[in-house]
Structure 1
């Protein structure tokens, strides 16, 4: 009896505690203002749905992209009005697949899956942030049409209310119709019919179950499941959808087996929107919008967890803002020059026209990519991601989406310019000899003691290896990270990196940026192509601001340019001829002639050229000085027509006392950047400079009537001496 009384008493106590907690929660809910906010969100949701009509789900606003001369590059519209289809035109396989993978209880709930919300709420409380949703198809439609992808509790509450109101106003069939016509399928395709035409050149009604599931894999994460860039990821999710349908018993085992084994072949229409310049412009515009809305880009992380979290946030933000390109009516103004773009494409196509072999997808096996940067602004003028070809749908932009081994073209970035900062000069003596643990030279020959200039010009692997051991891989790779190279791995911190042995590699865009940094006195600028983005009414949403980050010391960069001129004049690229236009550059060739590079610049432009295969293999006759250099030469000659020869800025070479150094620096402040500088060597005044006009005017004032011994270099000419017997306290120049 006493035991029963105790149980009853504990039960009463528990009920009282729960009641107090409930009262406290309700009190806090109203007192803190949440009730008012929720009420306002509900009213807004009700109003939005009440005002909606079927036409609400067919709206779109076209965006336009322009080149540097005001020419239209492309018109971005999502195509959902052109290809809108009604529910009775949607295959039932598509409906079954969508419901199975996204919202199994779609035909049972009233727009809200409370268990799903509970799961999302639990995760939010556990992780202190919203990391997953419990969204139904109706909620996803509400978010797509009426809301943003912002993850806040207010947006989630309003989404729930909108979904509830949508279910009251529209039928389940209408909601599915609206959803499948508005969801984003990557590459500018909105709606499943637009996606069917865009990826398969068919109507949705003509697709197989496997093809339908392949398309429905995309909207979950349009970047990650992009069929053009990440087809393997798309196949994986297609198989997940088919497996879900099998578990839900909406398809048979035999149907599942047949569909999962079906090969997917994209057959995109001839009028492809995403050619190389457009692809890059969309990429840059998306990132510009991300930046304008507060996203902070990173390339270095303290842990794998931090990097994974960043990548998730990046993908989410990229998907969100990339989607708006096709719906928000932007006017996007770029630095791209379509004339220069066409010339770069033509140079690549003409020099590789004899390579006619194609892979199983009909794509040329020997490929190329190139990037041209305006050295005045640091902006991209042209970007080609592959050879022109009469095939449909292949738009991989190798210029910024592919990463390959750079060979010796990496040496100026991580070996030679850092070594100059450590005190090496073009005339420094280095040893070209084979060592037990070092590499061989490409020619198999060794020259013994040579100058650093000769080592650079002849691309001596042995010298690069020796210098890199002094620079250290840790410091050398840090230069690449400072340049913003995006695929630096832990295994790259080894000696092989100095010869281009990187785990993932570099892109032609990154190499162009690296060399443009050397040309720009060591200051790095991101080679973007977006000058300005406005809305359709002309309001500025984004405007490019020139931002420079110093990566190399100014004098080291100028000295590197001086030595790279020797590569073109007498080294591995000595066949290149730009007439009277001074040029600097470096060749690069990887093992077995798999990749060839030439990256070089004038005062006007920096251009990076890569030649190789998508699946690395030996290419007969390929070196950095063959096809890449010839493409570079033809293109650079064309775009420099009519431009006056422009000399590079000369390095400042100075050896002397601190007082004399201060005096020279004072003089330099008032002089033009174009002024050539020379040598004043107090330790060896008898040495005569090789270049004319290399001595600067030096003014010295002394007490008394005698000139101190050694004040005038032997061999100095045009000497004017003024003496005074008065003591001079201050010197003014």
Structure 2
């Protein structure tokens, strides 16, 4: 027995020695790799560079910022972006003690103990990452954050992290803790162009920080961690939650009493933003496009589709981080941003919207008009955005949502050409194919409640027959139809949209006017999609090019199918639901759309020159008697398009190659339970484009005739619109809405700036082609999904 124990000890000892030898070999190999692989020199160079950066810095390094300028397509100055750190800089003695306590409690509890780097914090972050599979805790100290913001980029590489550590430790040798805190609080980003605590105080509360109470100070200190997620303008609920967390941390750290903490958390926060706040639709869209262009340059890959909720959550975190990083540069880097926006066209579109809705003067509690509209115009020659209007113009002291690209509503019948008809025209159907308008069990009816029997596909589109679109999508399959929208970057598609009611605009989240404009511009462009943007190029202050954009085209539809669709849509304006809206002397095509109970009206149309999308409705969806795609939206479209085509030579659309018509009835062999109701929700679930249908892999050499030189104007972008039509109102008869001073719905109007995603859900029981759930988001706010259970018995056109 004793011998066996000795043998075990000897074996254990030999195993221990072997393990130690292996570890020694690994360490030696690592050291050899470190020195002979060049890492020793690289790290030495990083340390030397860090020393030079810190010791060459002056007081001005932490105070100044360069002004960026934005120009329209004609070189006219649109806006000036300046961080204004120099204007609002505070010395340490001028910063309220509560600001210092709040930021240290939430960002760096060991600030006064460490020497620039909290190594224990790094180990905790690594442990948490291993346990959770992703980064869940921050490991950067206040000094490291300052080092990164002032001296480095935001790229996530080991070299940058090592140099960040070297800079932080060197700063701790050169500056006092109070100096570092002063620099930090004057340089951190508080969103919406505000750098530093004083600028944030002036921007959100219109007063100096010394006048704020504890609750307001904690509220501001909640923003820098993730300025997009905790943006008080778009996500004030998130900001409040983090404010409360900061107050709790201050209580635990002994900075405030339990009673003071309780009172501060119970205080209601009310923003008071100055009149100088940027709320111009051109500016907000330009900043959005410029930021995304910089993100793309940094190598960020945009997505709309995800395999799981976890993947989506991770992507959104990465997106927010990169967006904030690139957005900051607009205010400090001294860029010159050149856009495709034509301010003259912008004014024409704004004026067309304002004039059409001028009788509707009702406002909500925030003073914002309750009846709204949005529109986008794209240049078909270039694929760039020329004009973008996110709402009616009015004097309003605060922020107004840019509905053109941030709001999502149900599109109604306006989605049919994109989702159903152009795809089936690729599959042996032609404008003369015979289809049958007949009742469908548990399916939709038409707006007039009748069925017309056999007719051509052309007539079905012109008359916006719901039964035909429903059956054709079943034949095509909803999955296939949605792939076309995914390829055109429709961003709020959902798994629940894979149903026949999507043929009638019954989406979970909806679409935006920008997305609709880009979709119809794809049809006009012979089936090639170009992602909408207004950024032509960005240079530095000395004119050196930072980036320039190139409109790359993605094949979505076949050329001949697109041309057939255009030919059919021409008839909508002469024989169908949009008759009377054709332009004088200029060939044009388009489609109407209206949702249940006349809650949303859409018109999207194009010429060889421009594509324009228009949406009209209430921010909080409710009925507007007489609203249809052909009424206000159609008139806005015609007024605007007529004006911008003045002096342009008429351009005919290119003709399609005749194909053998499909004469048999376009009725699927099986009708597997046409779904009774299609649910639409307010949730903003982002999905990303996926590649579909590889039938067209190369652009046809003979894709388009050259357009006249007059057509080669500034590129324009499209906006997100949704069109559903009233089951009881024929959109062909341009009915006037009821008395504009009356409220046709008892729905409560809400400020889109405060709760842009909280829209009333409605069931498609009257018209499944007109989805009533409208998602109006400022960013990516989610609403509540609708629970629809009614039987869709009436349709829309």
Whether TM-score is above 0.5 comes out as: yes
Deviates more, 1:527-536 or 1:289-298: 289-298
Whichever of the two has the greater Rg, that structure is: 1
1:491 maps to 496
Runs of 5+ in structure 1 lacking a partner?
657-667, 676-733
2:564 maps to 559
CA displacement 1:258-302 (0-9 Å, x = unmatched): 322322222221122342111111111111122223223233344
Distance 1:498 1:669 in 2: 32
Q: 1:128 to 1:476 in 2, by over 3 A?
A: closer
Distance 1:624 1:163 in 2: 60
The question of 1:160 aligning with 2:165 is answered yes
More helix by share: 1
Q: CA deviation at 1:133?
A: 4.0
1:315-326 matched pairs, under 5 angstroms: 315-326=320-331
Q: 1:608 to 1:671 in 2, by over 3 A?
A: closer
1:38 maps to 43
Contact 1:229 1:396 (C-alpha < 8 Å) held by counterparts: no
1:233 maps to 238
Q: 1:440 to 1:107 in 2, by over 3 A?
A: same
The question of 1:288 aligning with 2:293 is answered yes
Contact 1:228 1:396 (C-alpha < 8 Å) held by counterparts: no
Q: CA deviation at 1:653?
A: 0.9
Contact 1:199 1:393 (C-alpha < 8 Å) held by counterparts: no
2:303 maps to 298
RMSD, aligned CA: 2.9
CA displacement 1:87-122 (0-9 Å, x = unmatched): 222222211110110011112222221211222344
Q: CA deviation at 1:125?
A: 7.1
Number of residues of Structure 1 aligned to a counterpart in Structure 2 = 664
1:644 maps to 649
Distance 2:227 2:486 in 1: 28
2:119 maps to 114
The question of 1:76 aligning with 2:74 is answered no
1:341 maps to 346
CA displacement 1:591-628 (0-9 Å, x = unmatched): 12221111111111100011122222223332212111
Q: CA deviation at 1:496?
A: 1.1
State the secondary structure of the residue aligned to 1:369: strand
Distance 1:112 1:670 in 2: 62
Q: 1:672 to 1:242 in 2, by over 3 A?
A: closer
1:519 maps to 524
* Equivalent of residue 358 in structure 2, options 338, 353, 356: 353
CA displacement 1:122-151 (0-9 Å, x = unmatched): 467789997764111111001110111122
CA displacement 1:482-513 (0-9 Å, x = unmatched): 11111111101011101111111111000000
Runs of 5+ in structure 2 lacking a partner?
662-699, 708-797
2:219 maps to 214
Q: 1:653 to 1:44 in 2, by over 3 A?
A: same
The question of 1:86 aligning with 2:88 is answered no
The question of 1:458 aligning with 2:467 is answered no
Contact 1:138 1:175 (C-alpha < 8 Å) held by counterparts: yes
* Equivalent of residue 382 in structure 2, options 377, 383, 386: 377
Distance 1:132 1:25 in 2: 28
Q: CA deviation at 1:672?
A: 8.1
2:274 maps to 269
Distance 1:116 1:30 in 2: 28
CA displacement 1:658-697 (0-9 Å, x = unmatched): xxxxxxxxxx98998489xxxxxxxxxxxxxxxxxxxxxx
1:396-545 matched pairs, under 5 angstroms: 396-545=401-550
Q: CA deviation at 1:21?
A: 6.8
Q: 1:225 to 1:654 in 2, by over 3 A?
A: same
The question of 1:279 aligning with 2:284 is answered yes
Deviates more, 1:82-91 or 1:298-307: 298-307
Distance 2:272 2:633 in 1: 31
Distance 2:449 2:528 in 1: 36
Q: CA deviation at 1:211?
A: 2.1
CA displacement 1:457-494 (0-9 Å, x = unmatched): 12111221122111210111111011111111110101
Q: 1:670 to 1:226 in 2, by over 3 A?
A: closer
CA displacement 1:416-469 (0-9 Å, x = unmatched): 111222222222222222222211212223323222222211211122112211
Deviates more, 1:640-649 or 1:72-81: 640-649
State the secondary structure of the residue aligned to 2:573: helix
Contact 2:654 2:704 (C-alpha < 8 Å) held by counterparts: no
1:617-696 matched pairs, under 5 angstroms: 617-655=622-660, 673=705
Q: CA deviation at 1:560?
A: 1.0
1:598 maps to 603
CA displacement 1:619-656 (0-9 Å, x = unmatched): 33322121111111111111112222222212221459
CA displacement 1:382-405 (0-9 Å, x = unmatched): 011111121122132111111111
Q: CA deviation at 1:215?
A: 1.8
CA displacement 1:691-716 (0-9 Å, x = unmatched): xxxxxxxxxxxxxxxxxxxxxxxxxx
* Equivalent of residue 198 in structure 1, options 203, 211, 217: 203
State the secondary structure of the residue aligned to 1:552: coil
